[in-house]
Amino acid sequence: MSKLDKIRKIIIKTIKKNNSHLHEPYFDKKELFEVKKTIKSTIVSTYGKSINIFEKKISKFLKSKFTLCVNSGTSALHISLKVLGVDRNSIVYMPSLTYVAAANAVRYNQAEPFFLDSDKFNYGICYKDLKKNLEKNVKFIKGKPFCKIAKKKISAILVVHAFGYAANIRKIIKIAKKFKIPVIEDAADCFGTKVFGKYLGTFGDVGILSFNGNKTITSGSGGAILTKNKKLFNRASKLITVSKKKHKWKFIHDEVGYNYKMNALNASLGIAQIKKINLILKRKKTLHFRYLKNFNDLKDIEVVTSEKNTKSNYWINLIKVKNISLRDKILNYLSRHKIYCRPVWDLMHTLPMYKKYYRSNISEAKKLYETTICLPSGPSL
């Protein structure tokens, strides 16, 4: 049996199916019940009661003081950056290894990304690279951090927790405090992941979630902004509702705003999903440990798992191959057999629209890109 066929057999044995997509949602009668209830109410837009219910359930589960549901994780990023003062005169430090929405959101605010390397164990920003670049590039003007080479203010550090694993968030926040830079946590992949007993998305000044159809829980499309800062929450609340001021009958808009609020139909789907979050997390953990066990005998394949003090949601199971040339051979072979896996995202600094921006020496992220494969990881498997 060839190595490629061994890998396919191991995946089939693990997922207990001959074919699979990367991540499919887990639905039962609860979703139909909640959606029908919203439809019967006839209030299916951004004024529906289910939005507030979903926000409260998220806050309760994550222990987030304020939660604001929006129509996508990208919208959540756009607004989170904006309320922290990111604008055309800003630099945002962020990883090159991330989904393109994170970099796009920086540019929506007309700011410049500064791309950093990744940690080889958790796929998040390398805190050592962050510290080195800040020590080299920061100067303070009137008590505020500026980037010497870009000659712009440093308005945020965007920490992306990738694939369900936690970046070194406590160390990153410690560095950020030293340099007086706000932290945004992109926890789009990480609903339910804990580090040191606290949920990701609740460490930084602002956190964001995604409830896209491929996430741990889904509202079809949608996202959320998390914060403990009432001023930031109120500012974001206004911006996502087209900057409409409250009035009994009059439409008053006093600045440019965005039609970003989640609608009631999406929220009703999210309510059904979050009600069974513990079951979903249990299923995903079981699947992960099946992968660990079944790949154990393949010495040149490593299953990526949680670091110490981290309790992952195991959103996507990852394997790393030692031989770089093997990655695409595996992906092509599995695709032919209708097991749909993929590599990690293309590095941002390699994309045509982001090649011109500042970056550090990105070596570890390159290795991760060249050697990592994302495996089928849906909670129904």
- Position 88 pLDDT exceeds 90: yes
Look at residue 299 in the predicted model and tell me its pLDDT.
87
Q: Are residues 310 and 268 in the same domain?
A: no
- Domain end (from 225, 258, 275): 275
Confidence band, pLDDT 50/70/90 cuts, at residue 248: confident
- Position 133 pLDDT exceeds 90: yes
Evaluated on CA atoms 355, 122, 21, 337, the torsion sign reads positive
Whether 64 maps to a domain, the answer reads yes
Overall pTM surpassing 0.85 (yes/no): yes
Confidence band, pLDDT 50/70/90 cuts, at residue 1: confident
Domain interval for residue 348: 3-25+277-375
The alpha helices in the chain, defined as continuous H runs, are 3-15, 29-41, 49-62, 73-83, 100-108, 127-137, 169-178, 230-240, 264-275, 277-294, 326-336, 364-371
- Domain end (from 232, 253, 275): 275
Q: Are residues 231 and 138 in the same domain?
A: yes
* CB burial readout 323-334, b (16+ within 10 A) else e: eeebbeebbebb
First to last CA, the chain: 25
Count Cβ atoms below 10 Å from residue 121 Cβ, excluding itself: 15
Q: Are residues 156 and 83 in the same domain?
A: yes
> How confident is the model over 209-220, as pLDDT tens digits?
999 999 999 999
- Position 150 pLDDT exceeds 90: yes
CATH number (domain holding residue 358): 3.90.1150.10
CB-count burial class (<10 Å; 0-12, 13-18, 19+) for 16: exposed
Q: Are residues 297 and 237 in the same domain?
A: no
Q: Are residues 72 and 221 in the same domain?
A: yes
Q: Is 142 left (phi over 0), alpha (psi -120 to 50) or beta?
A: left
Q: Are residues 139 and 156 in the same domain?
A: yes
- Position 314 pLDDT exceeds 80: yes
- Position 246 pLDDT exceeds 90: no
Helix, strand, or coil (residue 153): strand
Main-chain phi, psi angles of 197, to 5 degrees: 80, 5
Q: How many domains are there within the chain?
A: 2
Confidence band, pLDDT 50/70/90 cuts, at residue 25: very high
Whether 380 maps to a domain, the answer reads no
Whether 369 maps to a domain, the answer reads yes
